[in-house]
Amino acid sequence: MDAAALNRLLAALVAMRDGNFRRRLTVSGDGVLTEIAAVFNEVADRNLHLTGELARVRRVVGREGKLTERLETGACEGSWAAAIDASNELVDDLARPVSEVGRVLSAVADGDLEQRMELRSHTADETVRPLRGEFLKVARTVNNLVDQLSAFTEQVTRVAVEVGTEGKLGGQAQVRGMSGSWKDLTDSVNTMAYRLTAQVRDIALVTTAVAKGDLSRKVTVHVAGEMLQLKNTVNTMVDQLSSFSSEVTRVAREVGTEGELGGQATVPGVAGVWKDLTDSVNTMAGNLTSQVRVSPR
């Protein structure tokens, strides 16, 4: 055999071993060495095609995010084709959970909390395989997230309807397993509902007492903002009613029981109907005083 041709073949094989698939053999004439060179070049072509496709799909899928891209088989067959099919199946296996995560999270972003990730994978040949390892962990994490959001939304909605629409005070959101910001949000909703309940019940207690003629109660719950204005308004009303009642009772007792004429009810700060009532009582007392004092003895 041609020693020079064998040396070229050896150098090309070493290059291929070291990952250089661009080296080609050129052997003129006929014979075994020419056939060997042709086969070597085909092997190099197929290696180059495989590595080129792997690099292309890695760029398109991994960097550009196009999860539908796959390796092209080309002229490969046998184990070459099997390697490309295995690579495509690997991309399928990696892309499928990512697509599922994206589907569920997109639904959550649109306010749909009914979607869940399947814990099984459906392959292109209709084979169904359960998820394992990190894939299963991701799927369970996403589903747990959606479950917690769903439970949180349901409970907050329930408390809001009970307190804000149905007037059922005292409701509290009960969401198990919450932590971090979700627990903080749940606690905030419950604190709001609790404080609103305490404020409304205290105001209701005072106004109920007023309706029953008990003017000794005041709103004492700690409030701020508009609730503070309401608290002050109710307490001012109770003070005015108490002062009005006290003054009218005093004038009635002085005139009707003790016979002390000339008394007048003095209720500072009253207006509207309360002022009209005070003026009416004072007018009645004044008229009665005048009538009695000018009557013949």
Domain ranges of the chain: 1-106, 149-222, 223-297
pLDDT digits (tens, 9 = 90+) for 272-284: 777 787 788 788 8
Q: How many CB atoms lie within 10 A of CB 91?
A: 20
Strands of the chain, DSSP E = 120-122, 128-130
Listed in sequence order, the residues at least 6 apart from 209 whose beta carbon sits closer than 8 Å to its beta carbon are: 215, 216, 217
CA 15, chain centre distance (Å): 58
Q: Average pLDDT, stretch 254-279?
A: 76
Listed in sequence order, the residues at least 6 apart from 79 whose beta carbon sits closer than 8 Å to its beta carbon are: none
What is the predicted pLDDT for the residue at 133?
Answer: 92
pLDDT above 80 for 29: no
Burial of 58 (0-12, 13-18, 19+ CB in 10 A): middle
pLDDT digits (tens, 9 = 90+) for 219-236: 998 888 988 999 999 998
How many residues would you count in the chain? 297
Question: How far is Cα 246 from Cα 57, in angstroms, rounded to an integer?
Answer: 91
- Model confidence at 185, pLDDT cuts 50, 70, 90, reads confident
**Which has more pLDDT, 128 or 107?**
107
- Model confidence at 271, pLDDT cuts 50, 70, 90, reads confident
Q: Average pLDDT, stretch 97-124?
A: 89
**How far apart, in Å, are the Cα atoms of 89 and each of 53, 83, 96, 179?**
14, 10, 10, 38
Global pTM exceeds 0.75: no
DSSP class per residue in 67-105:
TT-----TT--HHHHHHHHHHHHHHHHHHHHHHHHHHHH
- Model confidence at 60, pLDDT cuts 50, 70, 90, reads very high
Lowest mean pLDDT among 4-8, 46-50, 111-115, 116-120: 4-8
Sign of CA dihedral 187, 190, 196, 198: negative
- Model confidence at 88, pLDDT cuts 50, 70, 90, reads confident
Residue corresponding to tokens 């000339």: 262
Question: How far is Cα 136 from Cα 161, in angstroms, rounded to an integer?
Answer: 37
- Model confidence at 1, pLDDT cuts 50, 70, 90, reads low
Q: ∠64-67-73 over CA atoms, to 5°?
A: 105
- Model confidence at 4, pLDDT cuts 50, 70, 90, reads confident
What is the predicted pLDDT for the residue at 80?
Answer: 84
pLDDT digits (tens, 9 = 90+) for 127-172: 788 888 998 999 999 999 999 899 888 988 998 888 888 888 888 8
For residue 255, what are its two tokens?
Answer: 């005139």
Q: What is the mean pLDDT of the chain?
A: 86
